[in-house]
Structures are given as structure tokens and as C-alpha cells.
Amino acid sequence: MLVSIRWLKEYVDIPADLPAEALAERLTLAGLEVGKIRYIGVPQQNVPGITVPPSDHLVWDRQKLLLGKIVEVKAHPDADRLVIAVVDYGGEALEECVTGAPNLFAYTGAGPLAPPLWTPFAMEGAEVWDGHSEKPARMILKGRKLRGVYNRAMVCSEKELGLSDDHEGIMLLDERTVAGYAPGTPLQDVLGDVLLDIDLTPNLARAWSIIGVAREVAALLGLPMHYPPTDVRMDGPAIAGRVDIDIRRPELNPRFTLALIEGITIAPSPLWMQLRLKLAGMRPINNIVDVTNYVMLETGQPLHAFDWDILCRRAAQSGAAHPTIITRLPDAGEELTLLDDSHHVLDAHNLLVADTAGSLSLAGVMGGLESEVQPDSRNILLEAANWNFINVRRTMQSRKLSSEAGLRFSRGVHPGQAEFGLRRAAELMRVLSGGIVARGIVDSYPLRPETVRVDLPVAEVRRITGMDLTPAEIAAILRGLQFEVDVTGDLLHVTVPDHRLDIGTGVIGQADLIEEITRIYGYDRIPTTVMDDLLPPQRDNPALRSEEWARDLLVAAGLNEIVCYRLTTPEREALLAPPGESVDLPENAYVTLANPISQDKTVMRRTLLAGLLDTAVANLRQTDRVRFFEIGSVYLPTPGDLLPQEPRRLGILLAGPREMAWWDLPARDGRFDFFDLKGVVETLLAGLHIEKAVYEPARHVSLFPGRTAALTIRKRPAGVLGELHPKVAAAFDLPDGLPILIAELDLEVILGAARAAHRVSPVPTQPAVYQDLALIVPEETPAASVDAVIREAGGDLLEDVRLFDVYRGAPVPTGHKSLAYALTFRAPDQTLTDKPVNKLRERIIKAVGQKLGATLRD
Amino acid sequence: MLDRLEELYRQAADDLARITSSEALREWELGTIGRKGEITLMLRQTGQLPPEERAAFGKRANEIKNLLTQAHLEREELIREQELARSMEEGQVDVTLPGRVTPVGRLHPATRTLREIYDIWAEMGFQVYRSRDVETDEMNFELLNIPPHHPARDMWDTFYTTTPGVILRTHTSPGQVHAMREYGAGGTKPIRVILPGMCYRYEQITARSEVQFNQVEGLAIGPRIRMTDLKGTLTEFARRMFGADRQVRFRASHFPFTEPSAEVDVTCILCQGQGCGVCKHSGWLEIGGCGMVHPAVLRNGGYDPAVWSGFAFGIGPERITMLKHGIEDIRYFWSNDLRFLNQF
Ligand SMILES: [Zn+2]
């Protein structure tokens, strides 16, 4: 919301020496965040301690941009399209300005003007905006001849001053704008202004008007509020009996008021009003529509003007004696065309303003096309109503409509404001349009809110804020915000004013008031303390601790952590199955967004694999070697449950050369393969002190058959690891022929088996005996089986079994492989001799021979 | 014999003086005073001499052997010194050549900042409480004092799911009610927790906004928690996070689940409050929102708001990371470009 400080000053006497920047800071700290300050002609001020963005706006030179009074308009001797304005600018002599402004032509040759025309006047050397330039450009006014007449000054348009884009004619200032100023007054003093662009949080709906902001300013500065008068001169025949109001759903329409203004003439509104509308970002239309907008900006109460004659005609057509305004929900399938030409088939909750002939407006949001004010309207029925804010908001959302009125109503306007707005607007319309206001108003107020009263003990303020404010201090702050306060000892009886909907009752009302007290008192004045409250029982978070532990282990293993989008598409994840194969997904497999913002993010992921592969693709464009992991949730809806399961997973991906080259050591050949990936998993499990991990050959739709293992920990499935299926690699646009090693593991299972307090064995005191053993086994025999048989046969004295070579080829027979093991034997309490070791060795050889058909390789 | 001995001695002493390498020295040693060296052999022949000559010869031969052994030791020391000096001369490396780096992995910057945040709050007795990403409208909004269709909902651009009443959480605040109900023992026990997690907003992805982002909320509930505590605690956090010389400012604001509510600013890290592009020339950087827990929320968590009070706050780890490291594009976080990740 753009707030003119000049306008604000009509309601609160802001000290002249309070810079706009300081006022903006006060408002910001009190919760009315000033996002931007816009300067109209006046310079920015430097306020110590306040930093504001530097502004390079046009500053009106106090010597050269002045208030001018055109005393006569003369014809130009040599040009039809130019005239000479004779201007009193407070100087010793009158100044003649050549101008092509069409709005002066009517005065040409009329002799001395009575009354004179007032206009902004610029002297040679003044900086102004170039009125003729398409793009914004500034220029310094230079004296020059215009068709033979020397010209060293100029009368200005709005565009030249930077007030608007209007360059149709020069600015002619109305009486109200120049009242009290003499010719030659610096223009800064007459028209200069500062606009505060305030971002209002939803709770500050009451401040969505100039008066609303003025109340805040008054409270913050400790100054009184001056409300505008609400007297209306009502000279016409009474409105009573000429129009009725029929509210069918009071809970949606607590109040509806009407006034009738007859005999008006539609015309442009005066410059002061137009200028205020323009500076607030609204377009002036005419003296009726402008008043409805002006009063909405001023008071926060939206208004609507109907053409009274159209309503009377509709009433007659529908056989009624006089118009009746009916507010109701629509009939099934009812339609309405709005002011913006949009056509709507209405939803059941879209409240309507209607009459006996049908619908007129979408209540609180936008007027209908048929009954709007016309250029030849003579009589106006003025509406100031109140609507349920929740319903207005729903209607705006379902109809995809927005309007200044709708935005205000949807945040909440107090029904008490309707009559204030109605009276203010009726009087302005009377004055500006020459109409006569019918006597009285029609006020249907079926749902008058109860006046809110809150009892606030001073102790409660202390309990929540920690500050010792006196009853007098608290009362003064609340009264500054227009609350009525009666103080009885340490108890304040507070009555909420009828422009606020945000104060509740009981303990909530107390909290609402405490917020107001601290906000106005100033957060910067609140002292700081250290909590002396009870320290709650301190709890461990093993899930988080072990997860961070896993991260550290993986990082130590050389992997980079990544974090992917958790939103994806089913199509992306479907690429994880090679063409022709499909993943069997249950129905409603995905948490699906009802309102996705982009086509590539429509569901919550079910797997980490797609994100890992996408990350690999992107990075392999820059580098040939990637190693990373992600820890995060996947989202698995389960039938019968409202919310999905969100198990944590660990994803790992490796690709590229296994070794890095150095300047004197070339990298040995070899790219990451299955065993590098398995090594990472083993490193992790070892680091977490997880034993009894079993790797078994497995099949996974995304992985290379025969290079895929399923991990089982303590008999619980813990995920898969393997080489990516080449067809899946191709589907993800990964480089051809590059092995991609990828794993998706169940972190809940892994971390569930992690042991923070594992047992530590004593350091051996006895020497070990080392022996090598090479065995020939059939190709299909898994190494894990050989390992297991050796360990079993070796018994307690066999301390360690390490595979150090796998060999195929002569002299090993085809279809077989040779596995070479380094065996470590040790007895805990004595030095082992060769004899028992050799016996064990024989036992091992016998066991592998019997169980696996293994033979000793010589 | 004696003359021969003296001759050998002179010869050996001369040879020794000319030796410059440890190999030659070993050879000399073998040839003279070694087990089969000439001096040793002569000494062994002492017994073959006539008895009257034996004593004198033996004495002299021993003398010579000792002298040569001593001289050998000295020479050996000298040569070792020389050789060390030579190897130092020849074995110099170009220390400006690059080292062989151990390729280590790195934590994601969001994780790093989250850990930093956990650590600071842990010292103040706040423990980590995590809750789910896919939430009910009731937990995310209604129990936090945000009724359906209330205009306050405009503060969050929400992702709805095709299951009515189920949304992606827009903030970690639902964890407030979860934690109160789980740890509060029916509103009888104090609580200090922080609630980290991924949140989601219906927003276009730009350099400044993301559809998903981490948030850390904090919640303290007790029988004596005041707004002065909130200010003191958050000031302490801001100074630990951003530096002890930071100024901290509290600005009134609005969140439906706190009252009074505030935004917390610290003096800009880059311009020290003088105004720059990062702080939008305000001199201040907004680091989070906070407030006293709204009585309705306390009630929904099982506490009697007339007796219990509390504060809550929310901060954005990615934003904090961006401010600390001068990162201008939030999209870096989830794009996982190693050229970005490797800078941490
Ligand atoms: Zn800055």
C-alpha cells in the first residue's frame, strides 16, 4: 500500500522536523514494514543511524520550480498550436512562457483571467523529466526561441514533474491544492510528498487505509487523531420507503447500508483527488467512481455506486414498486458478467448482491456490468456493506478474481466502518457532483458484533513480556490506539474500538493486547534476559546422531553429500525400468500434488535413484569422476493411511576412473566397479560396527543382472547395490559404456543395527602364524561360501582370513577359479607352533574339498 | 718384519687420508684392519717371531692397529658428513610442485549449517525433534491458529496433494504441536526443542526462491518464559552464528502461531550496516521470525496458557549459508554441481 505522508498529515500532526525516513523506521519496527520510500520532488534526508537505499529521483529545485499563477493566455503571433501563458511566479515581472498545452487554448485572448489558473512553473536551469521522450529521461531546461519568441521558463505537465505519465496538457492546480500558497512558493512545499510503500501482514487489515496508518502513527508518536467529518448535508426527499434491503444470509453479510444522491453530473474529479488516486496507484475515472475509491483508500471501507435509474427500471420490469437490494447465495447455475467483462457461472458459496430482477454484483469483490455508473448517470445509489471475510476470500480464489475492494474485505473490515464510509462518500459526491443527498440512510445491520471487552491484569503483561510496565503506561499505549481503558488498581478494563476485528476475548484477548502494548512500546526497548526457567529433561536423539555418524563415515570414504529435490514425476522414476520392463507399483503409489508448479515436479519421490542419476549426468558434463551420496526420505503411501510412510534412505553413486593421476604418477587403469561400491558400503558398515551383513546375488530392474547384490543385515533386507543397467543408463543420458555403480539402502535398517557401544578386544600378546592357501573351486562357487567354510573349519585359532588373489586360466582348469587366502592363526595364551597350525590347515583343506569340491592349488 | 709393519702402516695411513667415499673406506678397512686385512694378518704372525722380538713387535702392531682403527673412525665420520652434505645438495625438490591430495568427500552446505545450528542450540539445552514432510492441514495450519480459508493462509503458498486435507508442510511449525503432545506429558513438563526439516512452498524457482528449503524452528515452553528471554536467547544465537560484534534488532511482525511476533535482523555481514545490495541498502539482514507461543497453540499442545508460556522461532539454514558465504543464487543448493559443493 502506497501511503502519502502529505495525506497522512490530514489526520495526525506529524512534526515537520520528523524526517520521512525516521517515520518509516518507526512504522517498520512496529510491524508496518515500509518496503520502499518514494520521493515526490523532495530530497532524501540523511538520518543518523538509519540506512535507506539511495534514491536518484528528481528533486524539484526550490529556486527554479515554483508555484505559478497564469494571469493571462495570449495567442502566439506566428503559431496556431502554441500560446503564450503570462505567469506571475513571485518575481519582479511577469514571465511569458510559450506552450502547446491544449488545456490553455480555451483561455486564449480572454484577457486577464479571473480567477487565475495555477500551475507548476519551471525556470531556466531547472531539472525536469523530458515530456516528449518515450523512455524516462531527464533534462535541464534551457532558454530558447520558440517560433520567434524567446522562452526561458516553462509551465509543466504531470509527466515533467514525475507525478504521472500524463503529458496531455499542463497541470492546472485546483483551489484546494494551492490554498494558502502565494505565487513563487517552491513547488516542493505545494506538491512535494513522500510515499511509503507499506507491506501489511494479514493481521493489520485495519491499517489498510490512510486513516488506519494514521492511527498507528498517532499511537507511535503519542499524538491525537483527527477524523474527517461524517456530517452529510441531506436536502433531498427521504430515502426511507424508496429502497429496501433483504439480507438472506446475515452470517455472510452482517451489514448493508445505502444512501441516495440525486441530480448529479458526471465529470472529472478535482485535481487534488485525482493526484491522490494516482499516487496511490489508481486511475481516476470520474467524480463518482473516484469518490468510492478515494473513500476506500481513506477509510478502508470499500463502496459501490449503482445507477439508481437502472435499478428502478429493473424493479419495474420485475413488477416491483421500488428497488429491493437482496443479498443471497446464487441459484444453481446462476451466471453473472462483471465490470471487467469476465463472465462467471457461480459457485454455491459466491454471495451475490441482487435485486428483484436478478444479480447485480459479486458481493464484496466486483460490481456487475449492467448496473454500473454510466457517463450520463443522474442518480446514484451508494452502497457500503460488510461481508464475511472468509467467504470473500474463498470467492476470490474460486473465481480467480482480485480487486481492491475484495482484497480489503477478504482481510476483514469491521462492520462498524460501513456507515462511516457511506457518510464520507455521500458528502464528497454531493460536493463534487452537484447532487442532492436524500434524507437519511438505509441501514440493515442484522449481525452487529458484540463489543469486545478484555480484562487485563498488569501481572499478565509482566508474565508474558518480562517487563514491569505500570498500569498508567499500559493504558496510555492502548488509548493511543483508540482502545477505551478503565484502570482499577492493577487491572485494566479494555474496550476494543469498532475498527478492529483482531482482538479476541479471555486469555487470547490478553495476548492480543500484550502484542499491541509491546509493539507500540517498542521491541528495541525490551531488555534481554537469559532463561532461568526449568531445563527440561534432556533427551538423546539416536536417529539423528546415527544419521550424522553415517554422513561422517561416507564423507571420510571420499564421497560428496548431495541433496536432491524430493519432488519429481512418475515418468522420471519410470525411466529406472529398462524399456519393456515395468515396475509393479501399487495404485496411488505416489503422494501427488494437486497444484504442481511445474511439470517436472508433480509427485513426491519413491526412490533416491533418479535424483542420483540426474546429478551424475549433470556433473559428468564437467568432470569424469563422481562419488556421492544422499541421505533423505522417500514417500510411500500406504493403503488405508492418510499420510505416507517416510522412510530414510541412503543412496550412493560412483562412476569414473578409480584413481587420480598425479604429475609424476599416472593413474593406473581401471574404473569404479561393483567392488568399489561394495567397499564403500563395507566401510560404512564397519564404521557403524555392524557385523553380520550378508551380500547375495540379486535382481533389480534398474541394475545389471549378475552385478547386483542384495544387502541383508540381521536378517532384515537393507537394500540393493550394483552396476546400473546399460539401458537405464541410456535412458538417463549417461555416457555410453561408463559403468555407473549405484546403491539404494534402507537407512532405518542400517542405523538400527549400528552399535555405538561395541566391545573392544584386547591387543594380542602372542605371535601369529601366517599361512597362504590357494584353492581351486568351480567358477560358480561364491567366495563368501569358501570364506565361511574356511572359518568354520579353522575354529577359534584362525584369527583372520583374507582373500588376496583370484586367478583364472592355465594351469587352473576351465570353469574353475583359484582363490588365494592369507590365513592368520593365533592362540590367545601361548605361542603357536607349526604342528597344530598344519593340522588346522589340513582340516580346512579337507572341509573345502568335501563341502565345495575345492582342491589345493600347487 | 717390523720394517714391513711400519711400511704397511705408512701406506695404510696415506691411503686412508685420500679416501672420500664410504665404499672405498669399506675396501680399505677390509684390506687393513679387517679380519683378513694385512695389519690383522701381521698381528697374527707375531707368534712365529723369535721370542725376544715378539713383545716389541706385538706391542707395536697393536699400537698401529689401534691408531688405524681410530683414524678409520674419524675418516668414516668425515665421509658420512660429506656424503650427507652431497645428498642434501643433490636431493632438493621443487617444493612448489603440487602435492598429492587425498580426495576427501564433503558434507552438503545445508548439512554443515544445520549442524552448526544444532550445536549452538544444544549448548542452550535445545534438542532436535524431527517430524514428517507430508502433513495434515490440521497440523500445518489449523492447530497453529490458522483456520481454513483464513487470510493468514496467504502467507504460505501451499502445495496441496490429491488427498484432501494432506499437504506438504510449509514450515516445520507442525513439529511444535507434535513435540508438545509427545514431550509435554499432558502439559505438565517444560520443553526445549529445535525442529529442523525440509519444507515446501508453491513458488517459482528463481535465484531467490525455491520450492523446497530447510527450516529450523525452536520451541521453549515453561512456567516462566518471557519475551525478554526470547530476545536474550535469540540475540545469543545470532551472535554465535554471525559474530560477537553483530547488532541484533527485533521488529514487530505477525505469525498466527505466536503473539507478540517479531522478525529478527542482524547488522549486515557484508557492509557492517552501511547499506549494500545484499541487505537491500537497509544495513540489516533478516535472519528469522519469532514470538511468544500463541495461547491457542499452547492449548492445542495440551498446556494451560494461563500458567504456561513459551517462545518459538524459525530460521532458514540456506539463507544463513548464503549470507555467510556470499552466495547469490539459492538454486545452487539442490542442483548439486560439484563445482559448488567442492567449495565447502
Ligand atoms: Zn549490507
A interface test, pick of B102, B227, B303 with most A CB neighbours within 10 Å: B227
pLDDT band at B45 (very low <50, low <70, confident <90, very high): confident
Residue A149, pLDDT > 80, answer: no
Interface contact A560, partner B, CB < 8 A: yes
**Whether the predicted pLDDT of A226 surpasses 90:** yes
Report the DSSP beta bridge partners of residue A421: none
Where do the domains of chain A lie, and which CATH numbers do they carry?
Answer: 2-57+194-221 (3.30.56.10), 65-191 (2.40.50.140), 244-444 (3.50.40.10), 453-522 (3.30.56.10), 542-753 (3.30.930.10), 769-856 (3.30.70.380)
Return d(Cα B289, Cα B313) in angstroms, integer. Answer: 6
* CB contact (8 A) between residue A536 and residue B135: no
Looking at beta carbons, which residues of chain A come within 8 Å of B279? 51
Residue A205: list chain B partners with CB under 8 A.
151
Q: At A543, give phi and psi (nearest 5°).
A: -60, -45
Are B228 and A526 a contacting pair at CB < 8 A?
A: yes
CA distances from residue B100 to A490, A655, A666, B256, B343 in whole angstroms, order as listed: 75, 21, 12, 56, 19
Query: For residues A701 and A739, what is the distance between their CA atoms, to the nearest angstrom?
Result: 16
Inter-chain residue contact B281 with A53, CB threshold 8 Å: yes
Among B128, B231, B254, the residue with its CB nearest the CB of A201 is: B254
**Most B CBs within 10 Å, among A197, A350, A402, A515, to test the B interface:** A515
Helix ranges (DSSP H) in B104-226: 109-123, 137-140, 174-183
B1 pLDDT above the threshold of 80? no
Write the single-letter amino acid at A379: N
CB nearest to B111's CB, from A524, A543, A551: A551
The answer on pLDDT for B126 being more than 90 is yes
Burial, A208: exposed, middle or buried (Cβ in 10 Å; 0-12, 13-18, 19+)?
buried
Distances (CA, A) of B203 to A245, A322, A364, B209: 43, 51, 28, 7
pLDDT at A220: 97
Pick the residue of B97, B149, B342 with the most A CBs within 10 A to test the interface with A by mutation. Answer: B149
Contact B103 A660 (CB under 8 A): yes
Q: Quote the minimal CA–CA distance from B266 to chain A in Å.
A: 13
| Eight-state DSSP code of residue A838 | H
- Chain B touched by A48 (CB under 8 Å): no
Contacts with A562 from chain B: Cβ below 8 Å:
108, 336, 341
Tell me how far the alpha carbon of residue A498 lies from the centroid of ligand 1, in angstroms: 42
What is the C-alpha separation between A200 and B137, in angstroms, rounded?
25
Distance B322 CA to ligand 1 centre (A): 13
Type of residue numbered A386? N
pLDDT of A574: 94
Q: Is A584 a residue whose pLDDT tops 90?
A: no
Tell me whether A459 touches chain B (CB under 8 Å): no
pLDDT of residue B249: 94
Query: What's the pLDDT at B48?
Result: 85
Chain mean position to CA A649: 31
Query: Per-residue pLDDT for A160 more than 80?
Result: yes
According to the model, what pLDDT value does residue B60 have?
A: 87
pLDDT value at residue A228: 95
pLDDT in tens, A421-437: 999 999 999 999 999 99
∠ Cα A354 A358 A364 (to 5°) = 30
* φ, ψ of residue A830 in degrees (nearest 5): -150, 165
β-strand partners of A36? A197
Asked if A508 reaches chain B (Cβ–Cβ under 8 Å), the answer is yes
Angle at A648 between CA A642 and CA A652, to 5 degrees: 140
Q: In this complex, is the C-beta atom of A542 within 8 Å of any C-beta atom belonging to chain B? A: no
- Average pLDDT, stretch A683-692? 94
Residues of B in contact with A463 (CB under 8 A): 226, 309
**Cβ atoms A223, A100 nearer than 8 A:** no
Chain A closest-CA separation from residue B149 CA (Å): 6
What is the average pLDDT across A704-722?
A: 96
Structural contact between residues A97 and A153, judged by C-beta atoms closer than 8 angstroms: yes
3-state SS string for A747-785: HHHHHHHCCCCCCCCCCCCCCCEEEEEEEEEECCCCHHH
A412 Cβ contact partners less than 8 Å away, ≥ 6 residues apart: A205, A206, A389, A501, A502, B151
CB A464 to CB B128 under 8 A? no
Length of chain A equals 858
Tell me how many residue pairs between chain A and chain B have CB atoms under 8 A apart.
278
CB contact under 8 A, A567 and B211: yes
Arithmetic mean of pLDDT over chain A: 94
Count of alpha carbons within 13 Å of A284, Cβ hemisphere only?
Answer: 18
Whether A548 and chain B come into contact, CB under 8 Å, resolves to: yes
Residue range A723-741: average pLDDT?
95
Within a 13 Å sphere around the CA of B116, how many CA atoms are in the beta-carbon half? 20
Alpha carbon of residue A428 to chain centroid: 38
**Which residues of chain A are within 8 Å of residue B252 when distances are taken between CB atoms?**
29-31, 515, 518-519, 523
Give the gap in angstroms from C-alpha B282 to the nearest C-alpha of chain A: 5
Distance between CA atoms of residues A65 and A184, nearest Å: 9
Determine the distance in angstroms separating the CA of B85 from the nearest CA of chain A, rounded to an integer. 26
Q: Do A536 and B251 touch (CB under 8 A)?
A: no
Sole residue written with cell 513458488 = B203
List, for residues A463-481, the tens digit of each pLDDT value.
999 999 999 999 999 999 9
pLDDT of residue B278: 85
A545 CA to chain B: closest CA distance, Å?
10
The confidence score (pLDDT) of residue B250 equals 96
Give the model confidence (pLDDT) of A749-773 as tens digits. Answer: 999 999 888 889 889 999 999 999 9
Q: Note whether B222 contacts A534, CB cutoff 8 Å.
A: yes
For residue A742, the SS3 value is strand
Q: Do B227 and A467 touch (CB under 8 A)?
A: yes
Return the residue of B nearest to A644 by Cα.
Answer: B134
**Across residues A404-414, what is the average pLDDT?**
94
Q: How far is B117 from B107, CA to CA, in rounded Å?
A: 15
* pLDDT for the residue numbered A751: 95
The rounded distance, in Å, linking the Cα atoms of A240 and A312 is 15
B130: which chain A residues are within 8 Å (Cβ-Cβ)? 541, 543-544
Given pLDDT bands bounded at 50, 70 and 90, which one contains residue A613?
A: very high
Positive/negative CA dihedral, A164, A170, A176, A181 = positive
Q: What is the pLDDT of residue A704?
A: 94
Q: Is A656 part of the contact surface with chain B (CB cutoff 8 Å)?
A: no
User: How much of chain A exceeds pLDDT 70, in percent?
Assistant: 100
How far is it between the farthest Cα atoms of chain A?
Answer: 137
Query: What is the pLDDT at residue B103?
Result: 82
| Inter-residue contact A88 to A98 (CB < 8 Å) | no
Record: contact A511-B224, CB cut-off 8 A: no
The residue that leads in pLDDT, A527 or A151, is: A527
The Cα B54–Cα A528 span in angstroms is 104
Q: How far apart are CA A824 and CA A804, in angstroms?
A: 13
Q: What is the whole-number distance in angstroms between the Cα of residue B330 and the centre of ligand 1?
A: 18
CB A411 within 8 A of CB B151: yes
A400 touches chain B (CB under 8 A): no
List the Cα angle A222/B235/B274 in 5-degree steps. Answer: 75
Contact state of A204 with B260 under an 8 Å Cβ cutoff = no
CB-side exposure of B174: number of CA atoms within 13 Å?
A: 22
For residue A537, the chain B residues in CB contact (below 8 A) are 189
pLDDT at A858 over 80: no
- Residue A364 cell numbers, joined: 464484496
CB A290, CB A404: distance < 8 Å = no
Distance A31 CA to ligand 1 centre (A): 21
Q: Is B115 within 8 Å of A592 when comparing Cβ atoms?
A: no
CA–centroid distance, residue A56 to ligand 1 (Å): 19
Distance from CA of B250 to the nearest CA of A (A): 6
Per-residue pLDDT, averaged over A216-233, amounts to 96
pLDDT tens digits, A534-579: 788 888 888 899 999 999 999 999 999 999 999 999 999 999 999 8
Task: For chain B, give the longest Cα–Cα distance.
Answer: 131
User: A814 and chain B: CB distance < 8 Å anywhere?
Assistant: no
Between B147, B189, B281, which is nearest A52 by CB?
B281
Contact B212 A463 (CB under 8 A): no
Segment A210-233 shows an average pLDDT of: 96
From chain A residues 27-46, the ones with a CB under 8 A of any chain B CB are 28-31, 33
Task: Give how far B200 is from chain A: nearest CA, Å.
Answer: 10
- Ligand 1 mean position, distance from CA B268 (Å): 4
Closest listed residue to residue A707, CA positions, set A732, A672, A683: A672
- CATH class, range B109-341: alpha beta
Q: At what angle do helices A287-299 and A404-411 cross, to 10 degrees?
A: 30
| Cα gap A589→A574, rounded to integer Å | 12
pLDDT, residue A105, reads 92
3-state secondary structure at position A548: helix
So where are chain B's domains? 2-91, 109-341
Q: Where are the beta strands (DSSP E) in chain B?
A: 127-128, 134-136, 166-168, 191-200, 212-222, 248-255, 258-267, 284-293, 309-315
| ipTM of this complex | 0.90
- Which residue is closest to A598 within chain B, CA to CA? B204
Residues of A with Cβ-Cβ distance to B115 under 8 angstroms = 548
Alpha carbons A121 and B133: distance in angstroms, whole number: 63
B260 to A519: CB separation less than 8 angstroms, yes or no:
yes
Residues A634-657, mean pLDDT to the nearest whole number: 96
